[in-house]
Amino acid sequence: KQEVTQIPAALSVPEGENLVLNCSFTDSAIYNLQWFRQDPGKGLTSLLLIQSSQREQTSGRLNASLDKSSGRSTLYIAASQPGDSATYLCAVRSLNSNSGYALNFGKGTSLLVTP
Amino acid sequence: NAGVTQTPKFQVLKTGQSMTLQCAQDMNHEYMSWYRQDPGMGLRLIHYSVGAGITDQGEVPNGYNVSRSTTEDFPLRLLSAAPSQTSVYFCASSSGGGNTEAFFGQGTRLTVV
């Protein structure tokens, strides 16, 4: 069974810092990996999708990398802002899933960016 | 530009009551799924569907029922609500195939008293 782990569970940084969120997974046989943002009491917003054949994806101040062979992904946030405060979730879609194309989620990193 | 729409947003049920959580998508996606999110547990798959008329169980299916009569709709039924089903429920859809992006609804916050 695919296990997804996110470290750290919580992170507090001052505004303007560059930061890295980590995601690891146990089975490297994946279709893709997706990073989501979740604001308190809200739904999941897709940030970046990395296919298994890709090494990284960028969107604005966000850059996600994927090292499939080592089972790791990082989400890099440049020049953090208070509006970046949210929970960030990593999810993997596995080739060997017994549940079709279901996503396996990490428990998230709760980010607080202080002014 | 609706995407995935879930109703209701909030619901309080008494133990033993039944209800249906609605999920609709307007992107003609084949794959739809239901997750529940609990503190400290992350999101866990309840049921999924790979197309109209086809459903299957996920990781935590007990106490829930689903059907998929159309491509657009994938309702989740609680037959006899229990306090252990207090959770936030998310519906997701994708266009089928493993390489596609998943889109989520805004969630339904359910409390069973």
Task: Give the A-side interface with B, CB within 8 Å.
Answer: 31-32, 34, 36, 41-46, 49, 51, 89, 91, 93, 95, 99-103, 105-108
Q: How far is A87 from chain B (nearest CA, A)?
A: 11
User: CA B44 to CA B59: how far, in whole Å?
Assistant: 7
Q: What is the mean pLDDT of residues B77-103?
A: 93
| Window B:93-112, CB contacts with A under 8 Å | 94, 96-107, 109
- What whole-number percentage of chain B has pLDDT above 90? 90
List chain A residues with CB under 8 Å of B87: none
**In this predicted structure, what is the pLDDT of residue A97?**
78
Beta-carbon separation of A105 and B43 below 8 A: yes
Q: Is the pLDDT of residue B89 over 80?
A: yes
CA-nearest residue to B105 within chain A is A43
- As a whole number of Å, the CA-based R_g of chain B is 13
> What digits encode the pLDDT tens for the residues A66-112?
999 999 999 999 999 999 999 999 999 988 777 778 899 999 999 99
Give the contacts of B76 (CB within 8 A, at least 6 positions apart).
Answer: B20, B21, B23, B34, B46, B47, B64, B65, B66, B89, B91
Q: What is the pLDDT of residue A112?
A: 98
Interface residue B38 vs chain A (CB under 8 A): no
- A22-79 pLDDT, tens digit per residue, is 999 999 999 999 999 999 989 999 999 999 999 999 999 999 999 999 999 999 999 9
Of A41, A95, A101, the CB nearest to B31: A101
Nearest-Å Rg of the Cα atoms of chain A is: 14
CA distance B13 to B18: 8
Tokens (6 digits) for A42: 């809200």
Q: Taken in order A92, B35, B9, B70, is the CA torsion positive or negative? A: positive
- Least Cα separation, residue B16 to chain A (angstroms): 26
Confidence at B97, pLDDT banded by 50, 70, 90 = confident
User: Phi, psi at residue A17, to the nearest 5°?
Assistant: -75, 150
- Residue A96: its pLDDT value, please? 77
Res. B96 pLDDT band, cuts 50 70 90: confident
pLDDT, position B1: 66
Instruction: Give the whole-number percent of chain B exceeding pLDDT 70.
Output: 99
How high is the pLDDT of residue A99? 79
Say whether residue B56 is in contact with chain A using an 8 A CB cutoff: yes
